[in-house]
Structure 1
Amino acid sequence: MLNPLAQVSLDRLRQRKSVKWQRYPDDVLPLWVAEMDVEPAEPIRQAIVEALDLGDTGYPAGTEYQEALKAFSERRWGWDGIAIERTALVSDVMLGIVELIKLVSGPGDPVIVSPPVYPPFFQFVRSMGRAVVEAPLTNARLDLDVIERTFRHVKADHPVYLLCSPHNPTGTVHTEQELTGLAVLAARYGVRVIADEIHAPLSTTFVPYLSVDPNGMSLMSASKGWNLAAMRAAVALSNTDELDRLPEEVSHGPSHFGTIAHAAAFREGGEWLDALLAGLDENRKLLKDLLTEHLPEIGYEPSEATFLAWLDCRAISDDPATYFVDRGKVALMSGTEFGSGGAGHVRFNIGTSPEIITEAVRRMSASR
């Protein structure tokens, strides 16, 4: 199968009405938000067209999505730990995380995160009126010593740790040893771990958190792996029966088209995903080579997963996102939004064509 990242022209992309292509003027290359520049996988397109042809535009029902995810996890990760009766449909990963936080903790309990990390971890938690406590990464990896010190000093009845796995923005894939160590600490200090595993399909070495923690909870989705943010749906998973206590209205959030599209992705989208992963590997190498040649002062180590690159631009500017959009017409996501450790960094979306990556680095270099 052809590389999905090499199939869409810039002219066609600029016709899109999503936030990626509408936020900035047409002279700016948008490589900021986590949308990929791809056409839908054919099985997904067919599933949605068939639903439209049937007039199947009502409310979602059944467990087709969860069953497709279960089969995918067994094929892809060799993990048979999903129990359908311990899953729940939710509208998307972050709103699912909010509901799980409310389910396992109280209004005054803090939420611990490991920055630099996905900005909504801060935004959504603070909107709930909760305190955010940081246990920063060390060299882009979970630091179990830092996490233990944080767990030990947090004074709360039911603290929560939000795990990002694979990690956004660094693309780190946490090892089984690291995740097991986290689970041991969580049990020791009475912390509940909720894992955001939305990028899991974009890793070939992913370890599900629920495979190591009997009290674990997680959120999974086809949204990032197959570029389906417009079709809202996600699955909450647990190793306990606690999801039975979610409010009835939570299950009303996912769209019917979302559950259809995501189920088709997990069930029939493997060939497309493999081609995408190969394309992302090529893009990581391309970006590394281009930066080495044209912007060697930028630090970059190709990630193990996701379609995101984390660039250390401290040698160029304290505010590199503003610098590159103003001087080079390249929109990147500012590292300051990711919490501690993000200053002087940017997140660069490599889920696009090699031509656009090449042009972006050319513009960034010319801005110097």
Structure 2
Amino acid sequence: MNSANGGIPKAANPLRQLSLDQLRLRTSEKWHVYPRDVLPLFVAEMDVLLAEPVARAITDAVTRGDTGYPAGTAYAEALAEFARKRWDWDGISVERTAMMPDVMRGIVEILDVISTPADAVVINCPVYAPFYHFVEHTGRRIEEAPLGDGQRIDFAALEEAFVRAAQHGPRPVFLLCSPHNPTGTVHTADELTTVAALAARHGVRVVSDEIHAPLVMPGAVFVPYLSVPGAENGMALMSASKAWNLAGLKAAVALAGPTAADGLARIPAWVQEGPSHLGVIAHTAALRDGTPWLDDLLDDLAANRRLLVELLAEHLPGVRYEPGEGTYLAWLDCRDLGLGDDPAAVFLEHGKVALNSGPSFGTGGAGHVRLNLATTPELITEAVRRMAATTAIAKSS
């Protein structure tokens, strides 16, 4: 028995260990916001037990009363070692890192030291909705560069957005989502090199949100933005939170390219003291000892992708879905179902399935929903069944 996981035996399939009744005992957002008759497949939480090394690290820390303030560079060192082994990237210098409370707070702090509220921020839409909320809260203008064919970066649109952004202030920023949320697109080395070249041409600083970096499917390759030529003045945010389901144990690492370290140095010390100490312990353990669990998770996610493709083909052939190579999110094009701009609202009201609303992801999101694949095959199957029944009702009314 695995005492670190509450006496539940360790299994090789992280997404097949918990029943619906067990999941409904949880009090986090995913399982708390909606009534019990709703299947929650929206917010980025996974229906898993913690990886055993992570659970053990947290339990040991609590046992010894190690619940003070975070300190040291263990998290950054573990991330550097993980990057060497996982991505064959030796480019993380611990001296050019800083702990952050979480990725989005880190983005806001970086924006404050490399730009002003008068400057614009470019994003590739549709994109993670908090990009809009956090950037707009800082007073900065957003310039959208919609994704192109195959849900990949449209470089003509990106350059046009860079030109517009430069007209608003002298220090424009490109907030890159890599891998991309919600589409799951994993940017290639050539694509990222082109981003760096365009950014240099137009005086744009690149900040890359790489929180989903470990969640890349077998056969695909994650390329850190700071590893490509021309990215020396870029910055990135990484965290173990998404890949090991640690959102409630907040911690992240900000990374600076060789010519961008001065930016990190200007971030106030109290910000760097903001992560949860238990979060730092948990994230460090995940990066050091959680790779076997992560590999099992990725196998389960690959199986869930295949299952979703089969279920949609059988029950909802009008939904277009191109599985992404990264994240555990599925971006579903429901425009042919005739459910309006926000099909998530229809699926929730009539099918009792909670999905993320496409319009919240910005331009290109209308008629789409985002579905969280990090759950059991049974819940995915039931969700698609309910969605199909909802569609049938809508068409007959």
- TM-score of the superposed pair, with normalisation by structure 2: 0.92
2:388 to 362, 365, 368: 365
1:226 to 244, 250, 253: 244
Name the CA distance, whole Å, in 2 between partners of 1:267 and 1:2.
19
SS in 2 for 1:200: coil
For residue 346 of structure 2, what is the amino acid of its counterpart?
Answer: Y
SS in 1 for 2:53: helix
Name the CA distance, whole Å, in 2 between partners of 1:284 and 1:221.
24
Question: Is 1:76 the counterpart of 2:96 in the alignment?
Answer: no
Once the two structures are TM-superposed, the CA of residue 311 in structure 1 deviates from its matched residue by: 0.2
For residue 157 of structure 2, what is the amino acid of its counterpart?
Answer: V
1:223-256 CA-to-partner distances (Å, cap 9, x unmatched) read: 0000000000000000122211111111121010
SS in 2 for 1:299: coil
Name the CA distance, whole Å, in 1 between partners of 2:235 and 2:145.
19
Give the corresponding residue for 2:358: 335
How do 1:232-243 and structure 2 match up within 5 A?
A: 232-239=250-257, 240-242=260-262, 243=264
C-alpha contact 2:344 2:356 (8 A) present in aligned 1: yes
For residue 241 of structure 1, what is the amino acid of its counterpart?
Answer: A
Question: Is 1:149 the counterpart of 2:160 in the alignment?
Answer: yes
SS in 2 for 1:326: helix
Name the CA distance, whole Å, in 2 between partners of 1:76 and 1:352.
25
Once the two structures are TM-superposed, the CA of residue 55 in structure 1 deviates from its matched residue by: 0.7
Once the two structures are TM-superposed, the CA of residue 315 in structure 1 deviates from its matched residue by: 1.4
For residue 261 of structure 2, what is the amino acid of its counterpart?
Answer: D
With CA pairs under 8 Å and 6+ residues apart, which has the higher RCO, 1 or 2?
1
- Of stretches 54-63 and 240-249 in structure 1, the one that deviates more from structure 2 is 240-249
SS in 2 for 1:315: helix
1:267-304 CA-to-partner distances (Å, cap 9, x unmatched) read: 00000000000000000000000000000001111110
C-alpha contact 2:199 2:206 (8 A) present in aligned 1: yes
Question: Is 1:209 the counterpart of 2:235 in the alignment?
Answer: no
SS in 2 for 1:98: helix
SS in 2 for 1:201: coil
Give the corresponding residue for 1:161: 174
Name the CA distance, whole Å, in 1 between partners of 2:364 and 2:163.
22
Name the CA distance, whole Å, in 2 between partners of 1:20 and 1:153.
38
How do 1:12-91 and structure 2 match up within 5 A?
A: 12-91=22-101
Question: Is 1:290 the counterpart of 2:311 in the alignment?
Answer: yes
Name the CA distance, whole Å, in 2 between partners of 1:295 and 1:221.
35
Question: Is 1:324 the counterpart of 2:334 in the alignment?
Answer: no
How do 1:63-142 and structure 2 match up within 5 A?
A: 63-139=73-149, 140-142=151-153
For residue 311 of structure 2, what is the amino acid of its counterpart?
Answer: L
- Of stretches 72-81 and 134-143 in structure 1, the one that deviates more from structure 2 is 134-143
Give the corresponding residue for 2:185: 172
Name the CA distance, whole Å, in 2 between partners of 1:220 and 1:3.
25
SS in 1 for 2:208: strand
1:135-159 CA-to-partner distances (Å, cap 9, x unmatched) read: 1101311111111121123212000
For residue 79 of structure 2, what is the amino acid of its counterpart?
Answer: L
How do 1:270-289 and structure 2 match up within 5 A?
A: 270-289=291-310
Which runs of 5 or more structure 2 residues have no equivalent in the other structure?
Answer: 1-10, 393-397
Give the corresponding residue for 2:212: 199
2:370 to 333, 338, 347: 347
Moved over 3 A (4+): none
Aligned residues: 368
C-alpha contact 1:4 1:279 (8 A) present in aligned 2: yes
Name the CA distance, whole Å, in 2 between partners of 1:153 and 1:334.
28
C-alpha contact 1:44 1:264 (8 A) present in aligned 2: yes
For residue 223 of structure 2, what is the amino acid of its counterpart?
Answer: V
Give the corresponding residue for 1:187: 200
Question: Is 1:311 the counterpart of 2:324 in the alignment?
Answer: no
- Of stretches 102-111 and 87-96 in structure 1, the one that deviates more from structure 2 is 102-111
1:256 to 277, 280, 294: 277
Once the two structures are TM-superposed, the CA of residue 38 in structure 1 deviates from its matched residue by: 0.3
Name the CA distance, whole Å, in 1 between partners of 2:190 and 2:386.
41
Name the CA distance, whole Å, in 2 between partners of 1:120 and 1:54.
37
For residue 366 of structure 1, what is the amino acid of its counterpart?
Answer: A
Name the CA distance, whole Å, in 2 between partners of 1:364 and 1:52.
43
SS in 1 for 2:387: helix
For residue 206 of structure 1, what is the amino acid of its counterpart?
Answer: F
- TM-score of the superposed pair, with normalisation by structure 1: 0.99
Once the two structures are TM-superposed, the CA of residue 82 in structure 1 deviates from its matched residue by: 0.2
**What is the alpha-carbon root mean square deviation over aligned residues?**
0.8
For residue 304 of structure 2, what is the amino acid of its counterpart?
Answer: N
C-alpha contact 1:66 1:235 (8 A) present in aligned 2: yes
Name the CA distance, whole Å, in 2 between partners of 1:303 and 1:157.
35
Name the CA distance, whole Å, in 1 between partners of 2:330 and 2:192.
23
Name the CA distance, whole Å, in 1 between partners of 2:323 and 2:100.
32
C-alpha contact 2:143 2:164 (8 A) present in aligned 1: no
C-alpha contact 1:284 1:303 (8 A) present in aligned 2: no
Once the two structures are TM-superposed, the CA of residue 366 in structure 1 deviates from its matched residue by: 1.4
Name the CA distance, whole Å, in 1 between partners of 2:39 and 2:128.
22
Once the two structures are TM-superposed, the CA of residue 107 in structure 1 deviates from its matched residue by: 2.0
For residue 50 of structure 2, what is the amino acid of its counterpart?
Answer: P
